[in-house]
């Protein structure tokens, strides 16, 4: 029950519209009850010349003309009016329900989308991207379905059952009791089917999500597939996923059709009992005892059978929607699985004020591990003063990029601390912390939007002057002017209509326009040719002293001009100093430089026991 209330809470803002929808449904039901009365009056009063047996019949007869022809035409007209009125009420009720459903769907999707953005990178990297997409796009429909079943089926059906039961008992109490025989049989069948179908839909949703993941990965790596001629392999893998999902769905649908057959058989049994007993009552009252209008008539039996269908209709809806409800429940639970995930990175209860300004950055004995017992960083200490340009260098896998992920709190340290002006980054709001930091990655995502919109992504209200100034500072203005539409040129998907060096300069412009005092660059030149590498390096040189610049790179030509270089091995800082100082030490940095920069042994000074300075201000 708590689960259902949690689902329905998303529709609470539209409670007045829900009440209005229920009222319209109830009114349409009442109007629909009048339809069989027209046939009863035609059979008993018009064609059978019997007096009206109730006030409703009398009301119908009273408005009819005196002639038989006029009465028949009049009843046809009344029947048409009743049908159109009920249809209009149902139409208005349907649109009201549709609005409620889609507004609730919007609330669910917005909540889930916002929560997905709050969850840490560790969460997203540990799960297939296609799974999150499937939950957001498909599973959220479960809430809409649950509302429609509870409000549109269950509540309305209960009201209809009560009304129809009362009407049927007024017509013939014994037949009404006989009609109730189907209810316990339906409840037992529903209980059995619900368990089987729910289990099947849980399996089916996992399979569907897996299929979405296969498609997403195949599209994302299409260039790789074509380059290595793996189209057939990917197709076979896709077909395998499709066939597996279909097999599961077939099993679920077999359970559904068996359930539908059982329900139809039970309801058919109820109709057969009423037809048999009702026919006997008509024969007894009209041809044996001669009770006439006071007994069971053909018209009354017709009305009873018509109302029996209306009585069984909500029962059929409630039991027949069991499979749909089971599927919707599975979908909603999958959404709540994500919503119940607590973000690993959370703001403190009372964050300290942290206005954007230049600050001293200090890593104090930082340890970090993605998985328990498998450390990535060990006892890392470094201090960076405002305006300096520093670099973390080393071979791949030594933890360089991890350091940059810790500073903006994409992850939290396992031990030690990271401080800005002496304040632990955990003591300030994440938004305030990240306002201090602008990041340029090796592969920078650019949006399928204009160049200007890409540059201004972090500052949506940026003026043309601000955009142009950021482009000029990143050396991007010159090539942007040569584009077909200049700053209004629309980049295509993945920005393949500009070069790698141009994409990198746009990314730097996007970082600079935020005016963040700390600029982080993760392998900014690793994918560039020597000419573009020199351009990016020159750009960074011009920014030196204006921003605190932190570079992660394994290409020493990019970092040679840094104020301090931290050399990393095995998750630790093993050397630190300027380029020339590190060359003199003939240590790990020298070995890297000798390989990359083609240093000659006789060109380097002899090794000297220069001690590694303690962490301190650059």
Between these two residues, 109 and 153, which has the higher pLDDT value? 109
Is 600 a residue whose pLDDT tops 60? no
**pLDDT band at residue 609 using 50, 70 and 90 as cut-offs:** very low
Query: What does DSSP assign to residue 428?
Result: B
pLDDT at 150 over 90: no
pLDDT band at 607 (very low <50, low <70, confident <90, very high): very low
pLDDT reported for residue 321: 67
pLDDT class of 604 with cuts at 50, 70, 90: very low
Could you give the C-alpha distances from 25 to 31, 100, 166, 240, in angstroms and in order? Answer: 10, 15, 18, 46
Q: Quick check: 365 pLDDT over 90? A: yes
Any residues with CB less than 8 A from the CB of 42 and at least 6 apart, and which? 72, 75
Mean pLDDT of 522-549: 80
Position 36 pLDDT exceeds 90: no
Which CATH code, of 3.10.20.30, 1.10.10.10, 3.40.50.300, 3.20.80.10, is assigned to 446-515?
A: 3.40.50.300
Residue-wise over 313-348: b if at least 16 C-beta within 10 A, else e? bbbbbbbbbbbbbbbbbbbbbbbbebeeeeeebebe
pTM above 0.75, yes or no: no
Distance (Å, rounded) from C-alpha 389 to C-alpha 406? 18
Q: Tokens standing for 469?
A: 């100034």
CATH superfamily ID and name for 2-339 = ABC transporter type 1, transmembrane domain (1.20.1560.10)
Helix or strand holding residue 322 (H, E): helix 322-339
pLDDT of residue 129 exceeding 50: yes
**pLDDT band at residue 487 using 50, 70 and 90 as cut-offs:** very high
- pLDDT value for 420: 95
CA–chain centroid gap for 24, Å, is: 33
Question: How is the chain split into domains, by residue range?
Answer: 2-339, 446-515
User: Cα–Cα distance between 316 and 303 in angstroms, integer?
Assistant: 19
Q: Quick one: pLDDT band at residue 603, thresholds 50, 70, 90?
A: very low
Mean pLDDT for the chain overall: 83
> What is the mean predicted confidence (pLDDT) over 224-232?
77
Q: Which of 209, 208, 207, 193 is nearest to 325 (CA)?
A: 193
End-to-end CA, the chain: 62
The predicted model gives 351-374 an average pLDDT of 91
What is the predicted pLDDT for the residue at 520? 92
Same fold across 2-339 and 446-515: no
Q: How far apart are CA 72 and CA 78, in angstroms?
A: 10
Give the tens place of pLDDT for each residue, 305-330: 877 777 777 776 666 566 678 888 88
Calculate the dihedral angle through the C-alpha atoms of 69, 70, 72, 77, rounding to the nearest 10 degrees. 140
So what's the pLDDT on residue 328? Answer: 87
Alpha carbons 148 and 155: distance in angstroms, whole number: 10
Per-residue pLDDT band for 406 (boundaries 50, 70, 90) equals very high
pLDDT above 60: residue 615: no
Task: Please state at what angle helix 231-283 crosses helix 322-339, rounded to 10 degrees.
Answer: 140
Residue-wise pLDDT tens digits, 72-104: 888 888 888 888 988 898 888 888 888 888 888
Q: Dump pLDDT digits (tens) for 282-303.
A: 888 877 777 766 777 787 787 7
In 220-317, DSSP assigns E strands to: none
What pLDDT is stored for residue 18 in this prediction? 85
């Amino acid at each position: 029950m708590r689960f259902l209330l949690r689902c329905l809470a998303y529709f609470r803002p539209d409670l007045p519209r829900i009440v209005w929808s229920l009222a319209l449904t109830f009114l349409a039901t009442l109007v629909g009850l009048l339809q069989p009365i027209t046939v009863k009056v035609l059979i008993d009063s018009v064609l059978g010349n019997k007096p009206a047996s109730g006030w409703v019949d009398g009301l119908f007869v009273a408005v009819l003309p005196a002639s038989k022809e006029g009465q028949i035409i009049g009843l046809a007209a009344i029947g048409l009016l009743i049908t159109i009125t009920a249809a209009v009420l149902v139409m208005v009720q349907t649109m009201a329900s549709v609005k409620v459903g889609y507004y609730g769907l919007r609330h669910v999707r917005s909540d889930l989308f916002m929560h997905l953005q709050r969850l840490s990178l560790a969460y997203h990297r540990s799960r297939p991207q296609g799974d999150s997409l499937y939950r957001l796009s498909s599973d959220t429909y479960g809430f809409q379905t649950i509302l429609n079943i509870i409000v549109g089926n269950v509540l309305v059906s209960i009201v209809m059952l009560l009304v129809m039961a009362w009407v049927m008992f007024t017509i013939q109490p014994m037949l009404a009791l006989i009609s109730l025989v189907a209810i316990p049989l339906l409840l037992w069948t529903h209980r059995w089917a619900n368990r089987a179908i729910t289990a099947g839909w849980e399996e089916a949703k996992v399979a569907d999500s897996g299929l979405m993941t296969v498609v997403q990965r195949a599209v994302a790596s299409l260039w790789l597939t074509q380059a290595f001629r793996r189209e057939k392999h990917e197709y076979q893998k896709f077909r395998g996923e499709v066939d597996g999902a279909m097999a599961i769905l077939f099993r679920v649908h077999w359970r559904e059709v068996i359930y539908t057959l059982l329900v139809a058989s039970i309801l058919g049994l109820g109709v057969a009992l009423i037809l048999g007993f009702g026919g006997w009552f008509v024969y007894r009252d009209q041809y044996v005892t001669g009770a006439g209008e006071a007994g069971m008539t053909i018209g009354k039996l017709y009305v009873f059978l018509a109302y029996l269908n209306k009585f069984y209709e909500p029962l059929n809806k409630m039991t027949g929607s069991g499979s749909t409800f089971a599927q919707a429940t599975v979908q909603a639970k999958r959404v709540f699985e994500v919503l119940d995930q607590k973000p690993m990175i959370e703001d403190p209860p009372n964050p300290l004020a942290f206005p954007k300004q230049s600050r001293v950055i200090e890593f104090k004995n930082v340890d970090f591990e993605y998985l328990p017992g498998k450390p990535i960083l060990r006892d890392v200490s470094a201090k960076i003063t405002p305006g300096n340009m520093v670099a973390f260098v080393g071979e791949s896998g030594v933890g360089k990029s991890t350091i940059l992920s810790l500073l903006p709190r994409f992850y939290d340290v396992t031990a030690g601390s990271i401080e800005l002006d002496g304040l632990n980054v955990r003591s300030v709001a994440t938004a305030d912390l990240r306002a201090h930091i602008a990041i340029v990655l090796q592969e920078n995502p650019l949006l399928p939007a204009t160049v200007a919109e890409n540059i201004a992504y972090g500052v949506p209200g940026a003026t043309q002057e601000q955009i142009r100034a950021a482009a000029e500072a990143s050396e991007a203005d010159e090539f942007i002017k040569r584009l077909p539409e200049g700053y209004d040129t629309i980049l295509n998907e993945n920005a393949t209509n500009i070069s790698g060096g141009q994409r990198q300069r746009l990314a730097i412009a996007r970082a600079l326009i935020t005016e963040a005092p700390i600029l982080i660059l993760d392998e900014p030149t690793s994918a560039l040719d020597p000419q573009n590498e020199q351009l990016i390096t020159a750009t960074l040189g011009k920014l030196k002293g204006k921003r605190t610049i932190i570079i992660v790179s394994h290409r020493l030509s990019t970092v040679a001009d840094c104020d301090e270089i931290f050399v990393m091995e095995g998750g630790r800082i093993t050397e630190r100093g300027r380029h020339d100082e590190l060359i003199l030490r003939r240590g790990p940095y020298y070995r890297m430089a000798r390989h990359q920069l083609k240093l000659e042994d006789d060109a380097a000074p002899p090794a000297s026991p220069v001690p590694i300075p303690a962490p301190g201000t650059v």
